[in-house]
Amino acid sequence: MSQVEEPQDQLIKEQIAYFEARAPEYDDSMEPDQSDSVYAEWQQLRNQVRSARLTGAVLDLAAGTGSWTELFIDSAETVTLVDASAGALEIARTRFQGRDVEFVTTDLFKWNPDRLYDTVFSSFWLCHIPPMLVSNFVSQIERACRSGGTNVLVDEHTFDDPGLAVAAARNDDAWVSHRTVQDGRDYRLVKVGHNPADVLDLFMKRGWDASLEHHGDHFYMIKATRF
pLDDT greater than 50 at residue 4: no
pLDDT of residue 171: 57
33 CA to centre of own chain? 21
24 contacts 86 by C-beta, under 8 angstroms: no
* Number of Cβ atoms within 10 Å of the Cβ of 144: 23
pLDDT above 70 (res 1) = no
Q: What CA–CA distances, in Å, run from 199 to 14, 45, 120, 159?
A: 25, 18, 15, 14
The pLDDT score that the predictor gives to residue 193 is 84
Averaged pLDDT of the chain: 90
Q: Degrees (nearest 5) of the Cα angle 59, 127, 226?
A: 40
Q: What is the pLDDT of residues 7-50, one digit of tens each?
A: 688 999 999 999 999 999 998 887 777 777 789 999 999 999 99
Q: What percent of the chain has pLDDT over 90?
A: 75
Question: Residue 141: CB partners within 8 Å, gap ≥ 6?
Answer: 61, 120, 122, 151, 153
Please compute, for residue 156, the number of CA atoms within 13 A of its CA located in the half-sphere on the CB side: 14
Strand partners, 105: 83
pLDDT confidence bin for 157, thresholds 50/70/90 = confident
The predicted structure's pLDDT at residue 2 = 41
CB neighbours of residue 40 within 10 Å = 13
Cβ–Cβ < 8 Å for 120, 141:
yes
CA distances from 155 to 34, 87, 109 (A): 19, 23, 18
- pTM of the predicted model as reported, rounded to 2 decimal places: 0.91
Q: Is the per-residue pLDDT at 103 higher than 70?
A: yes
Alpha-carbon gap, residue 105 to 108, rounded angstroms: 9
The 3-state DSSP class for residue 94 equals: helix
Average of per-residue pLDDT across 141-163: 86
Residue 159 has pLDDT above 70, yes or no: no
Task: Please state the domain extents for the chain.
Answer: 7-26+38-225
Give which of 84, 80, 91 is closest to 28, Cα–Cα.
Answer: 91
Name the β-bridge partners of 159: none
Residue 165's pLDDT is what? Answer: 57
Residue 120 has pLDDT above 60, yes or no: yes
Residue range 7-26+38-225 forms a domain whose CATH class is alpha beta
Is the pLDDT reported for residue 55 higher than 50?
yes
